Amino acid sequence: MTAAARAALVTGGASGIGRATVARLVAEGWQVVLADLNAENGERTAAELGADVRFVRADVSEEADVAGAVGACVAEFGRIDCVVNNAGVGGAFGALTDIAVADWDYTFAVLVRSVFLGIKHGARAMQAAGRGGSIVNTASVAAFSGGAGPQAYSAAKAAVLNLGRVAAAELAGDRIRVNTVCPGLIVTPLIGPDLETARAVMRQAQPWPDLGTPEDVAEVIAFLAGDAARFVTGEEITVDGGLRAAGPRMH
């Protein structure tokens, strides 16, 4: 790998969409810091994905951890060209009339504060280097409607969408692009082991007849991360088998 290779930080890279994204970027010649709360999975994934991957344990809701992960990318690879703010959890489940404030705050800390911190510290490092860069955030189709995900999760993912637009407007002058992917039903540990439930939802709401894979989403993230998307910023792309486009089934 030459010193001019591009370097990325991928949060939540130990599993699912994040792991597939790390693999996709490495295949394109990127060097990657994989940040995750789960040290066991993170260490193993980094070892499996090769010499251009480093694992850093980080809680994305903690500012010092996110700043540290950005710093680790610059220290390891001499640069940071992309941050993929992808780590996530289902968060608080249940009715708004029942959710405890602590559970609501936890959901927003892991899903929204994390993206703010990745933008804040990633963009600072990119501004200091003066080469521009790219930030890709993972939201969800749940961001667009009231019924496509748990209540707190859906509200948090909607915040991620507009955070991406706000950041795109702020950072364009530094040639830093900010975009958002919105996955639909993707087979990862996040949707749980019961794929029959996911398939039942799919049959009812999604036109495309298969569940999505982490690789389907990673492909779009890699496009947004790289120079092929040089004029794309402030945008969101759904990767959902037509779920959002179809809307409610009336026939």
Which sequence positions are flagged as catalytic? 153
Kindly report the three-state secondary structure assignment for every residue of 29-45.
CCEEEEEECCHHHHHHH
Q: Which listed range, 58-66, 74-82, 125-133, 201-209, lies at the site for ligand NAD (CB under 6 A)?
A: 58-66
- Residue 36 as a binder of ligand NAD (CB under 6 A): the answer is yes
Cβ neighbours of residue 247 under 8 Å, at least 6 residues apart? none
- Residue 188 as a binder of ligand NAD (CB under 6 A): the answer is yes
How far apart (Å, rounded) are the C-alpha atoms in residues 32 and 90?
25
State which H helix or E strand residue 205 sits in. Answer: helix 195-205
List the one residue from 59, 103, 105, 219 that touches ligand NAD (CB under 6 A): 59
List the one residue from 25, 123, 186, 218 that touches ligand NAD (CB under 6 A): 186
Q: Which is nearer to ligand NAD, 38 or 127 (CB)?
A: 38
- Residue 145 as a binder of ligand NAD (CB under 6 A): the answer is no
Q: Smallest distance from the beta carbon of 245 to ligand NAD, in angstroms?
A: 16
Q: 13, 32 in Cβ contact below 8 A? A: yes
CA 214 to chain centre: 11
- Residue 43 as a binder of ligand NAD (CB under 6 A): the answer is no
List the one residue from 37, 72, 136, 205 that touches ligand NAD (CB under 6 A): 37
- Residue 17 as a binder of ligand NAD (CB under 6 A): the answer is yes
Q: 138, 181 in Cβ contact below 8 A? A: yes
Q: Which listed range, 71-79, 116-124, 182-190, 241-249, lies at the site for ligand NAD (CB under 6 A)?
A: 182-190
- Residue 222 as a binder of ligand NAD (CB under 6 A): the answer is no
Return contacts of 54-58, CB within 8 angstroms, 24+ apart. Answer: 55/14, 58/11
Q: Which is nearer to ligand NAD, 53 or 60 (CB)?
A: 60
Could you give the 3-state DSSP secondary structure of residue 203? helix
How far apart (Å, rounded) are the C-alpha atoms in residues 122 and 84?
10
Task: Tally the C-alpha atoms within 13 A of residue 163's C-alpha that lie toward its C-beta.
Answer: 26
Q: Which is nearer to ligand NAD, 36 or 236 (CB)?
A: 36
How far apart (Å, rounded) are the C-alpha atoms in residues 91 and 77?
33
Task: State which of positions 80-139 bind ligand NAD (CB under 6 A).
Answer: 86-89, 110, 138
| Chain positions contacting ligand NAD, by CB under 6 A | 11-12, 14-18, 36-38, 41, 58-61, 86-89, 110, 138, 140, 183, 185-186, 188-191
